[in-house]
Amino acid sequence: MNVSADTPTSAPAISYPDTSAAVGSNGFGRLVLLWFGLIGGVLAVPGVVLCIELGDSEYPALARRMAGYGMVLCILLFFLGPLTSFYMWRKRRIQRILRTHPWVVLRVDYQCDPTETIVLRDAQNTRISRLTISSSGRQRRAVVDEKSTHVWFAGDPLRRGVIARPGGAYPLYVFGSPIKRTGIVPKPRKPELPVTLPPSLRPGRAGRSAAFCLDVLIHFGCGIAAALAVTKPASAHALIALDFDFGRAVLPLLGAWAGASFIDRVLLQSVARTTLGKAVFGLYVLDPETLRFPTFGRLTGAWFVGLYLSIALPLCVVTFSDVPGPDEPKRYLLPAIRRDDLDEVGSAASAAAIDT
């Protein structure tokens, strides 16, 4: 499909009727769904344990029946809640880009193998950036294909943006990284603080690995405890012989494991600045953008990104397909430092803030 190279106006992209109709204006509804997915995914963990308990024969028949329906609802919330939040977050990002950037027409090269990618070029046919199109199913080749020469684009071509058909219809989110080149001055960007720690401040790999393994062991131990509390093996011999109902143990194990992980990595870490495993080895976590302790929102985002990737990546491997993900995953990998280096890191963060 050959896209017209007519230059759009300088008005915000959202002002185009086709764009506004495609994106919609229910920003409050998306915000509600975003937080509903996050909170529902967290509450599903204790909800599963409660439903299993209410399913015991000592409770009335009505309670056992409602517990069955509640179990199904909690399972759906646990898996679909984070996915719903991610898609609502992406919708809100698309809307924000379209409200703050105008449409421009850029030259484009298209490739699909199997992920859809485009290379944006300026009027002199110089390569600007390579971006990945967040698309699936019928969205593939809906905006650009192998015959396309131009595309409507809104956003920062060096990082992320939105592409659309002529007139702004059918907007799709794109993300990627700039292409290294010479003789071209990139678009000015706000200076960023270091996203990696100096080698002198990095704890040993053995210490970090041991702290991570201890955290996982604690979380898994909570899951095992919940599974045993629900299945109630008749004796120690029955436990050793694995003579109990595995079907009733799976959901409590996964639910308590995820709940313990959230409490340790988000709630406890937002207050104590460290997890149980890191505390044993004298490690603290930092925000890579500010070199300061991460906020509750950053910890929550990092946890849900980890939860999403733990579900999406196996599906990606099994189905040989691509899945949407964060633009810069490195920002969600929170580094750890030794307790003795806190003062030195604080001085480095203050100096970096003054420089920027």
334 closest CA partner among 304, 289, 268: 289
β-bridge mates for residue 104, sequence order = 153
Mark whether 92 and 140 lie in a shared domain.
no
By mean pLDDT, which of 32-46, 52-66, 174-188, 216-230 is the weakest? 174-188
pTM of the shown model: 0.50
**pLDDT reading at 193 higher than 60:** no
* Per-residue model confidence as pLDDT tens digits over 293-334: 788 888 888 888 877 777 777 766 666 556 566 656 666 777
Domain-embedded: residue 124:
yes
Domain count, the chain: 3
**pLDDT reading at 349 higher than 60:** no
Mark whether 110 and 254 lie in a shared domain.
no
Q: Number of C-alpha atoms within 13 angstroms, CB side, residue 2?
A: 3
Domain-embedded: residue 185:
no
By mean pLDDT, which of 46-60, 112-126, 136-150, 341-355 is the weakest? 341-355
Mark whether 88 and 108 lie in a shared domain.
no
pLDDT at 183: 39
Mark whether 173 and 211 lie in a shared domain.
no
Domain-embedded: residue 6:
no
Mark whether 204 and 344 lie in a shared domain.
yes
More confident residue, 189 or 249: 249
Q: Supply the range of the domain harboring residue 30.
A: 17-99
SS3 label, residue 108? strand
Q: In this structure, what token pair is assigned to residue 111?
A: 């490739």
Identity of the residue numbered 250: V
* Per-residue model confidence as pLDDT tens digits over 265-287: 888 888 888 888 888 888 888 77
Domain-embedded: residue 188:
no
Mark whether 138 and 73 lie in a shared domain.
no
Mark whether 204 and 346 lie in a shared domain.
yes
Q: Are 152 and 146 in contact (CB under 8 A)?
A: no
pLDDT at 185: 37
Instruction: Band the pLDDT of 52: cuts 50, 70, 90.
Output: confident
Of 80, 99, 118, which closes a domain? 99
Mark whether 159 and 270 lie in a shared domain.
no
Give the mean model confidence (pLDDT) for residues 165-176. 87
Mark whether 73 and 105 lie in a shared domain.
no
Instruction: Band the pLDDT of 103: cuts 50, 70, 90.
Output: very high
Mark whether 77 and 132 lie in a shared domain.
no
Domain-embedded: residue 1:
no
Domain-embedded: residue 337:
yes
Mark whether 112 and 173 lie in a shared domain.
yes
* Per-residue model confidence as pLDDT tens digits over 30-51: 777 777 777 777 778 778 777 8
Domain-embedded: residue 190:
no
Q: Are 109 and 144 in contact (CB under 8 A)?
A: no
**pLDDT reading at 54 higher than 60:** yes
Residue carrying structure tokens 């490739």? 111
Percent over 90 (pLDDT), the chain? 6
Domain-embedded: residue 167:
yes
Contacts of 177 (CB under 8 A, 6+ apart): 129, 130, 158, 159
Of 53, 81, 99, which closes a domain? 99
* Per-residue model confidence as pLDDT tens digits over 131-168: 888 887 788 888 998 888 999 999 988 888 999 988 88
β-bridge mates for residue 127, sequence order = 121
